[in-house]
Amino acid sequence: MPVVGMAGGGQLARMTQQAAIALGVQLRVLAKTAEDSAARVVADARLGDDASLEDLLAFAKGCDVVTFDHEHVPGPHIEAVTAAGVPCRPGAPALAHAQDKLVMRNRLSGFGAPCPRYAPVPAADPIPFLQDFAEGRVVLKATRGGYDGKGVWVVDPRDPAARALLEELAGLELMVEEFVPFRRELAALVARSPHGQGAAYPIVETVQEDGICVEVLAPAPDLPDDVRAEAQRLALEIADELGVTGLLAVELFDTDQGLLVNELAMRPHNSGHWTIEGARTSQFEQHLRAVLDLPLGATEPAAPVTVMANVLGGDDPDLYSRYLHVMAHDPAVKVHFYGKDVRPGRKIGHVTALGDDLAEVRARARHAADYLRWGPAMKDHAMKEKA
């Protein structure tokens, strides 16, 4: 049975282990510490830093293929592993588009994929440039290293605060994008294998708060068939054009003028956690099948409606005591915890509910996620928030 190496010890590697156990393939992870989310549950966890070429090469030795649970492994490191004879999936040329937002925008625009209007921001005297770029607010992005709303700022270049922010960000490579008045955000998750097979999951709606995904509704409610088909086609086209192997998540803005690509990720993605129970093949199994060049699994939904809600850390680290209420209240809700220490606002787990009626399923997922975050104080918190 093959050995799949996954660089990174986060929850994506952790949940990939569940799929690897079923397939009988050995998952090896490269984690920074033994307390990392995946290192806690994977027998073959190696400790090291995937930003170190030496650590990465030692890790890759004996793997049949190497893949990633994040985008931060430097491209030249990935090329070196490939040169050492271990295929990396996705490869460095594809992954570059998930590592650098400007590279991604240039490439996507090159073959006509719809994107917000964008431009690189000059390092010298950026304010007049930004004022020329658009009338009102614009979206500033660090080209590299952002996640979960970090590395993204919405500013009005005419506002004095913009000058202060840009001084703070001096030295960071920035790009600017038009502020898109979207109706909602969607995500298209597809897989592509080295021999070119593709598979698309149902299009989902992602609900964000403060730049963090809090809910995923699968399938996206009230999505016209032609938009759904276009989103799937677009994601498969991007995977093909970029030569992605493994999963590709395409975050989309649903606007009055049609779909626009927001971000790309080439790995299992938060917007696909619902597939563990909600689709015939989980995204984690699909990623393993794709990077191993095995035939891809069926993406059909397992229920009419699936809702995934992220559990964010609250003030109280004692999650386990809340299982009693959550499981007794709703014996059918599925709880996933990542073995991470609780910090306020940190993604520490998720819950999934399935059923026939969106409002009911969404309320069930929401209740469980909120209760796990706030515990018995949930009501007080909700009242405070309203006040």
For its own copies, which residue of 192, 334, 364, 367 counts as binding (CB under 8 A)?
334
Cis peptide before 122 (omega within 30 of 0): no
For its own copies, which residue of 4, 7, 30, 39 counts as binding (CB under 8 A)?
39
The answer to the question of whether 300 is labelled as a binding residue is no
Give me 224's structure tokens: 């016209």
Q: Which of the ranges 84-92, 153-161, 179-187, 288-296 carries the binding residues for its own copies, by CB under 8 A?
A: 288-296
For its own copies, which residue of 23, 47, 96, 342 counts as binding (CB under 8 A)?
23
Tell me how far apart the alpha carbons of residues 123 and 176 are, in angstroms, rounded to a whole number. Answer: 12
Query: Which lies closer to its own copies via its Cβ, residue 219 or residue 278?
Result: 278
The answer to the question of whether 262 is labelled as a binding residue is yes
Tell me how far apart the alpha carbons of residues 263 and 340 are, in angstroms, rounded to a whole number. Answer: 26
Query: Which lies closer to its own copies via its Cβ, residue 115 or residue 354?
Result: 354
Residue 349 is a binding residue for its own copies (CB under 8 A): yes
Least distance CB 170 / its own copies (angstroms): 42
Query: Which lies closer to its own copies via its Cβ, residue 191 or residue 223?
Result: 191
Residue 341 is a binding residue for its own copies (CB under 8 A): no
| Beta-strand relationship, 65-68 and 3-7 | parallel
Query: Which lies closer to its own copies via its Cβ, residue 256 or residue 356?
Result: 356
Q: Which residue has the tokens 């170190």?
A: 52
Residue 43 is a binding residue for its own copies (CB under 8 A): yes
For its own copies, which residue of 336, 362, 364, 367 counts as binding (CB under 8 A)?
336
Write the burial class of residue 154 (CB in 10 Å: 0-12 exposed, 13-18 middle, 19+ buried): exposed
Q: Where on the phi/psi map is residue 85: left (φ > 0), alpha (ψ -120 to 50), or beta?
A: left
Q: Which of the ranges 35-43, 52-60, 101-109, 249-257 carries the binding residues for its own copies, by CB under 8 A?
A: 35-43
Do 299 and 280 contact (CB within 8 A), yes or no?
Answer: yes
For its own copies, which residue of 8, 9, 14, 245 counts as binding (CB under 8 A)?
14
Residue 3 is a binding residue for its own copies (CB under 8 A): no
Sequence-ordered list of residues with C-beta below 8 angstroms from that of 155, at least 6 positions apart, any chain: 130, 137, 138, 140, 161, 162, 165
Least distance CB 20 / its own copies (angstroms): 8
The answer to the question of whether 230 is labelled as a binding residue is no
For its own copies, which residue of 24, 76, 110, 224 counts as binding (CB under 8 A)?
24
Q: H-type helices in the chain, by residue range?
A: 11-23, 53-60, 75-83, 92-99, 101-110, 126-133, 160-168, 225-242, 275-278, 283-291, 320-329, 358-374, 378-386
The answer to the question of whether 340 is labelled as a binding residue is no
If one counts every other C-beta atom within 10 angstroms of the C-beta of residue 42, the result is: 23
Query: Which lies closer to its own copies via its Cβ, residue 126 or residue 297?
Result: 297
If one counts every other C-beta atom within 10 angstroms of the C-beta of residue 41, the result is: 18
The answer to the question of whether 277 is labelled as a binding residue is no
Do 219 and 225 contact (CB within 8 A), yes or no?
Answer: no
Q: Which of the ranges 37-45, 215-223, 358-366, 378-386 carries the binding residues for its own copies, by CB under 8 A?
A: 37-45
In terms of Cα–Cα distance, which of 366, 216, 222 is closest to 306?
Answer: 216
Least distance CB 363 / its own copies (angstroms): 17
What are the residues binding its own copies (CB under 8 A)? 1-2, 14-15, 17-18, 20-24, 26, 39-43, 45, 199, 276, 280-281, 289, 294-298, 300, 302-303, 319-320, 323-324, 327-328, 331-332, 334-339, 349, 354
Binding-site residues from annotation for ATP: 101, 141, 177-180, 185, 262-263
